[in-house]
Structure 1
Amino acid sequence: MRTPPRILIVDDNATNVKILQARLASEGYEVVSAADGEEGLSAARQLTPDLILLDVMMPKVGGVEVCRRLRADPGFPFTPIIMVTAMADLKDVIAGLEAGADEYLTKPVDHAALAARVRSMLRIKGLHDRVESLVDEMKHWNASLERRVATQVSELERVGRLRRFFSPQLAELIVSGGAEDPLQSHRREITVVFLDLRGFTAFAERSEPEEVMGVLRQYHAATGELILAHEGTLEHFTGDGMMIFFNDPIPIPDAAERAVRMSLAIRERIGSIAESWVRRGYSLGLGIGIAQGFATIGAIGFDGRWDYGAIGTVTNLAARLCGEAASSQILISRPVYAQLEAMLDVEPPQALTLKGFQRPIDCFSVRGISGTALKAAG
């Protein structure tokens, strides 16, 4: 409601209009007028007053009809209407109230009654406008909340999707904008780790499905915890085989070192678990292959089923080294060893003829972290 409130007087009697104007102006109101019903309708829609004083008996269009038309107009805002009628015209009063009027005054208009009814109707107008304002604010808040919820749901869905491949902290970093979208195809140098259980095929052939699933649950839980702890990216796992790589989606300076330290931790953890497997008659061990090189990385699949994949010679080499590794053995390629030579205790290099590689590949079997490196770390 505006300040001061605007009051529209609709009356064909100029004397009545002057009296009402004088009394209302003395109360500090802005007063406008119309000389008949049609003019009143036009003025009401054009000036949008805060209150209308509407005479019942007017030529052309009477006050009751003016009230009825205004109330039937969905585009006209809520505006209190006071009908002004002769003392004996009770039928007009009833007709006006039924048409949508809020109050009535009888002629001659008493000044005190006029002032009281106007204040009462303007108070109602103010309360109505306040409610409307609150409703608009609520609509705005709800729309804003819906947008925020939709954004958060989208982010949660994206985090959930990314957590299939990355550690939780990396997934959060990607969603928050701390890293580029890794699902877009890109090329990067990575360190790849392949894990595979030795003897698993024979074990699965002669064991019950429940036994196989029990072993896999132990294996996946143990390796998964260490993969996340070292912030590795799990490309895929198929039964007992796993592929993990480092330096993507977030570049890290110590990718090769993390890969080796993770592999050593996994070998130790699975070695402890394997003791319980042996007691149950399961002959299982873990082989690990590690290689470093460039690969093309990104989302692979189709709508409804996407995986995060790395394609390149480096992944094939890591897989071949894993295939050659004996139980509890970690084989690394020469580029990995070249970076970590000072910290690793390895066996003498050996040249392996691997499927898919024309020339023999030099590799090293990792015993552990060298004593010198351990002392320096301590």
Structure 2
Amino acid sequence: MLATQPLHQLVQDSKASRAFNGNLLPSNNNASVLDLENLRSITVVEDDSKQSVPVAVGIFHSYTPNQYYCSAVATSDKYNDVFVNLAPIKRKAGEIGVSEDVADNHYVYKVAEKKTELKDLSGFSPYYSVFGKPEATPLLQSVIDELIDNAGHKNFDMKKNITVDLYVGEKSNDESIDLWRDKSGFVVSDKYRFLEYEVERPKLLSLLESSAKPSEYKFESLSAKTAVLFLDYDSNITVIDRQEYLEFLFGLQGVRGTVAIDAENQPVGYVLTLGERVLQLYADTEEIAESILLHHLRSETVPILQFFVISNNELFKKISAIASNEKRVNRYHTRILPSNVKWGNVFFLNMGAHLY
């Protein structure tokens, strides 16, 4: 059985862990996102007698046959200055903490070899430096490479696209960005800016109320009866089938939602929150998005709100003026910018959990 405490410590500060409020990894028989059919994971353990101590984990979401979103990659600090080679090991579903139905989606490796320095290859031909197999790689790069390997190499460069979101601004983050971009092929920068804001709820309410107009829409809270409205609207802004993912979110303890309905009883937008985090906010227009958010937050009690925004609207500019804290996020892709989402309908996105 994998040691759960080190595993949770690895990912506790990740965007994905916060997005799922501790339900990212199996724990105490709680629902785990790893049981979703479209999730894949890589876990790396120490090569000791038990092979149970995790030192790295990587999780990615296969949201179409050729498109993947990397939710989390985390490595132990003790491997910051070494190079490794990995070897696969067999583990049963129960040892990994997932159901038998999805066991084939989750892979475990051991650190088979560690090196503190690599041979000087400067005298070798340029061909070798570009196409030759490296003697060993940093643990982060090794995990990324295994994620790519398990996505399948067939038509990888021609068809398959992987997206990752990385915090920027700190030296350690910048160094990992270099590994993602320069060593693992995440060379396409997104055209949008992304930020994580922390805002006092009273200030956000005041901002929304200052520009509020009489609403022509009806608002319904998330329930077993109204869940279909959330699913219907989600399917209108993408061709991606997200029913399993959304139903998992709906089932998390503490999740609340509000959907706006027009005069023809059609959904025109919705918001989901979990504690202090606004998970996602989508709407046909910015005015509708603000109305949904205002209606929803009036019944919230948390003092602080956190969420990720995209720079394709005026709402994020308004919020930037009242935010108490912000973190910049860069989005990178291996091949192209995803085009199967109506980004004009996306205001807050569940970064770390999904593409949007």
Q: TM-score range by the shorter chain?
A: under 0.3
Structure whose residues are more often helix by fraction? 1
**Greater length-normalized contact order (CA 8 Å, ≥ 6 residues apart):** 2
Q: TM-score, normalised by structure 1?
A: 0.18
Q: TM-score, normalised by structure 2?
A: 0.19
Structure whose residues are more often strand by fraction? 2
